[in-house]
Structure 1
Amino acid sequence: KYSQRERNRARRHQLEIARVIQSLCGPVGLEELKKQGMYTRSRIWNRRISRSDWRSIARILEGRLGEAGVEELDPYGSSFYCSRCGWENKDLNGADVFVCGGCGLRLDRQLNAAINLYMRMRFGYVVKWVGGRKRVELRMEGASQKAWWDRVVLPSLVGGCVLTRGGGAE
């Protein structure tokens, strides 16, 4: 009795999330995450991961938007490549703030990853192997990555998302 109620409540919540995403967005890009790579922590964490149902929202969106409206994106490198200049930060070590050595950008790591995934969805990307390492490069034609970032992304970040060295918002 109670488990059925909980499933129904979760299903209603998933449908509401999908409805909001559908009303706010055109095409949707989702990370192609694999649960198997996340079973590395404690037993409680492993149980939480195994019980979670990430694919249900993706299935609902695919049903509403069709196959053309939902794109699965490779999450590789989304959090350690600079979304502004493409520089690779190899030593994040679990830091919450991404700091670029190329252009000096300081940004929340999750937000940087989300911007990278958006840019991959919008412009497309190529996976290359350079020196035995996987490298993801954007396919930006005619515009430089920095110029596009400064024109489109930066104005939307004004209001507390860009972090300064002291940890406060600019």
Structure 2
Amino acid sequence: MKPTTRGTLAAVVTGVAAAVGAAATPAAAAGSVPVPVPLGGISQSLGTQVPEASLDVPLLTPGTPEGPRYATGRLLPEGVLPQVPIGGTLPGADLHAPLPRLLGEGFDHLDVDAPAAGLHTLGPGLDLDAPLTQPDPDNFGLPALKAPEAGLLAPVLRTAAGAGLGTGSGR
């Protein structure tokens, strides 16, 4: 391959990568990517109306976990294994289905609209403490024994999902 061809190819690849990166940034900021389901070919080949569908695919973004916090009276910090926050959206859907009329000609329609809803989660975490206390000056600087502590931090899920169902005449 000639050097000029390589240079041209490199410039084209760089331009395409920049365009894809610029196009992906708004989608990542939105939290979901709309994906139309292509059913037009089925409609043309069968000669009838078919459902129209569009789905929202979520983009999950992990957050920064809170680091361990040191507390007085403990040898190990609180939150040994921290909870990891994850943000994103629930998948959404927009469906439009034709309903044939039982009496007469034509179609009515059924619409289902379930918009993508915000989703905030925290993964499970672990909290441990050693079976020893901090060094005690009254005990010649030696730690005392105590019951070991172990705790599982439950995962958290927060969202508010909604949907709408409607019918109507023709389309």
User: What is the TM-score of this pair, normalised by structure 2?
Assistant: 0.25
Structure with max Cα Rg: 2
TM-score by length of 1: 0.25
Quick one: higher RCO (CA 8 Å, sep 6+), 1 or 2? 2
More strand by share: 2
More helix by share: 1
